[in-house]
Homo-oligomer: A and B are copies of this chain.
Amino acid sequence: MLIESVPNFSEGRRSEVMAAIADAARIDGVKVLGMEGDPDHNRSVLTVVGEPQALVEAIFRAAQVAVTHINLHNHHGTHPRMGAIDVVPFIPLQDATMEDAVDAARKLGRRFAQDLNIPVYLYEQAATKPERKNLADVRRGQFEGLSHRMVSDPPDFGPAHPHPTAGASAIGARLPLIAFNVFLNTTDMTLAKNVARAVRGSSGGLVGIKALAMNTVSHGQVQVSLNLVDYPKTPLPRALEMIRQEAMRYGVTVSHTELVGFMPAQAILDTVRYYLQQPEFRLDQILEWAIMADSSLEQP
C-alpha cells in the first residue's frame, strides 16, 4: 500500500539545507522522488512515496532537520507560510484509501506535537472542523499572526502557542493534484486574467480547475497557472482545450505548457485517449510499462 506526500518547507534558497532535509527522508521503504526549491517563494517541495508507517517516519526525520535550520523570524518569501514545515499533504496511491492517508496525517501530527513541540492543524480530508478544510483559511494571518490567533483557535495536536522558530504546521490528506502552466503568445496580462477567469471553477468555468494569471512578461509571454484538483472529473486535455479556445477569442495562441512536479498516470491515459481518439488505450500497451509492471522480469 503506497502513499505519496509532498511536504513544503520554508527554505528555497540554501541548497545545503534543502539537501540535508531530503537526505534525512531516505530510509528503507521510502523513495525520495524529488526536492525542488523556489528562491522567490523561499520554499521547497519534497516528493516522497512509501508504505505509510515508513513514510511518516521519513517525514518526521526530514522535519527534525528542518527545525534545526529554519527560523521563521528570518524568513522572507512571496509565498504565504506559517511554519518551517509549513504543510504536509498525504495522498493515497494505488490500493491506499483516503482513510489511510488521513490516518498517516494524524500519526505525523501526534509526533510533531510530542517530539518537536510543534502545534499541528489538520486540514482538507483530515480536518476536524469544516472551517479547517481549506488550507488558505488554516494559514490565514501566517506565522506573524499565529500567537494571537491560536488563543481562540487551538490546534489539533500540541501546544496552543507557536513553536518559537518553527511556527505551526498544517498536515492533511487530499487527492493528487496536477500543477500545469500554460504560456500564451502575448504580453497582455488583462487577456491572461480573462482566460484564467473563464476556465476557473470559482468564476463560472470548469469545476475542478483553479487558475491564476501569472506575470511572466519578461519572457515575452504571460502564463495561466492551473491546479487540477479533481483530474478524474475535469481532465487535463479538456482544461487545456478550453484555454486554447478562450485565448483564440482574442487571436492569441498557446506557446507551450509545462508540468510542475509529477502527474498521475491517469492524466497520461486521459491525454492519449483524448488526442489520439483512442478510448480503449491502456497503459500496459506501452511496451516498457508492461515490462516494468511485471516483477518477474529483472531489469538490467
Q: Which residues of A contact B (CB under 8 A)?
A: 1-2, 4, 29-31, 33, 49-51, 93-95, 176, 236-237, 240, 254-259, 261-265, 268, 271-272, 274-281, 285-300
Is B261's CB under 8 angstroms from A1's CB? no
Is A262's CB under 8 angstroms from B278's CB? no
**Complex-state Cα separation, A279 to B263, whole angstroms:** 16
- Number of copies of chain A assembled together: 2
For A298, list chain B residues within 8 Å (CB). 29
For A294, list chain B residues within 8 Å (CB). 31, 33
Is B277's CB under 8 angstroms from A263's CB? no
Of B259, B281, B296, the residue contacting A285 (CB under 8 A) is B259
Closest B residue, CB atoms, query A276: B257
Is A299's CB under 8 angstroms from B295's CB? yes
Is B2's CB under 8 angstroms from A300's CB? yes
A268-B261 CB under 8 A given contacts A277-B254, A289-B289, A291-B2: no
**Complex-state Cα separation, A262 to B272, whole angstroms:** 14
Closest B residue, CB atoms, query A33: B290
Closest B residue, CB atoms, query A274: B275
Is B262's CB under 8 angstroms from A285's CB? yes
CB distance from A290 to the nearest CB of B (A): 5
Is B95's CB under 8 angstroms from A296's CB? no
Besides A93-B287, A289-B289, A289-B292, 13 other A-B contacts (C-beta < 8 A)? A2-B291, A2-B300, A30-B297, A95-B300, A237-B275, A256-B279, A257-B277, A261-B285, A262-B290, A263-B287, A264-B288, A268-B272, A275-B275
